[in-house]
Structure 1
Amino acid sequence: MKSKPSKTDLAPRLDNQLCFALYSTSLAMSKVYRKLLPKLGLTYSQYLVMMVLWEQNELTVSDIGERLFLDSATLTPLLKRMEAAELITRVRAVNDERQVIITLTKSGDALRVKAAELQNEVFCATECNLDEVIAMKEQLIALRSKLANNA
């Protein structure tokens, strides 16, 4: 006679969860960046904002938020700290005072070169080859898109 499965047999297992694999990998990646970003004097969140501005300078807060999947309530205090550190300037748009334009300062733009060096260190920390990194990134972007469509 077959016994009935116990409650622990039916419980979801942490190591079988995609969400936990993504979460714990994100934590591990954050540790790598936490070790490297002091060279730039940036937090990880500030680094992401800088990357957006290095790609395209003079963006609105909402443009940056869209790119980083963050709302303005989260971004505003971060941007204020970055302005105090003289990495960016925040100026109200002339044509619409509700919009704030974020622009890199000379010192913020100068960090771009150091940041490029940092990328190689992150790549080495993954211990993956370039094809593996590209494939993983593409899979994660596709997954993010599918999840966003179902959220």
Structure 2
Amino acid sequence: MTQTARRTQSPTAVDQADKAAPGPDVLPLDRQLCFSVYAAAHAFTAAYKPLLEPLGLTYPQYLVMLVLWEEDGLDVKKIAARLHLDSGTVTPLLKRLERDSLLRRGRDPANERHLRVELTDAGHALRWKVGAAREQIVCALGGTEEPLQALKHEIDRITALLERSGS
């Protein structure tokens, strides 16, 4: 409870709030899982930056390329869904990647309303160069894939729980 909140409550309400809060204080920043995940996301972006920059990619562009290396020829909405972003956020990334000749965007012949994204030869070729960057990140994190995948699995589980709860 904040000092301001304590001052505005009656002494009885403050005493009851203090008695109703058993155990350790769960609000310090250092106890927040959400903050640790947030800080880790920033650390990943910073760690990848010097590895991706020589390849002409930003970290968000790298994520788009990962989606397309997994499944080429997706429409913009599917790429956005895979990245947990909206298509308005993904479109500028795609435009820059297209400008850099790594992909091309065009209307899907099966459904003209959809914008289909396909890798160019240069986009396909970049995959192998980016693999070395990921290997460097794995090395920085201990050098073995198994504990990283176990942690990823747990974070994916937490993400799914939060998405289901509507939080």
TM-score normalised according to structure 2 size: 0.81
Rounded Cα–Cα distance in structure 2 between residues aligned with 1:128 and 1:117? 13
Instruction: Give yes or no for the alignment of 1:64 onto 2:85.
Output: no
Residue 98 of structure 1 aligns to a residue whose secondary structure is strand
8 Å Cα contact 1:88/1:105 also seen in 2: yes
Shift in Å at residue 44 of structure 1? Answer: 0.6
Percent identity, aligned pairs only, is 40
1:55 aligns with 2:70: yes
In the alignment, which residue of structure 1 is the partner of 2:7? none
Deviates more, 1:92-101 or 1:116-125: 92-101
Work out which of the residue numbers 103, 107, 110 in structure 2 matches 1:88.
103
Higher deviation after alignment, 11-20 or 126-135? 126-135
Does 2:130 match 1:115?
yes
Segment drifting more, 128-137 vs 41-50: 128-137
- CA drift at 1:95: 3.1
Q: Of 118, 134, 141, which residue of structure 2 is paired with 1:126?
A: 141
In the other structure, the counterpart of 1:17 is 32
Q: Retained in 2: the 8 A contact 1:32–1:125?
A: no
Structure 2: segments with no counterpart, 5+ residues = 1-14, 19-23
Q: 1:128 to 1:15 in 2, by over 3 A?
A: farther
How far, CA to CA, are the matches of 2:26 and 2:149 in structure 1?
A: 35
Aligned-residue offset at 1:10: 6.1
Structure 1, unmatched stretches of 5+, are none
2:44 to 20, 29, 45: 29
Q: Over the residues paired in the alignment, what is the CA RMSD in angstroms?
A: 1.7
Aligned length: 145
Kindly name which structure, 1 or 2, has the bigger radius of gyration based on alpha carbons. Answer: 2
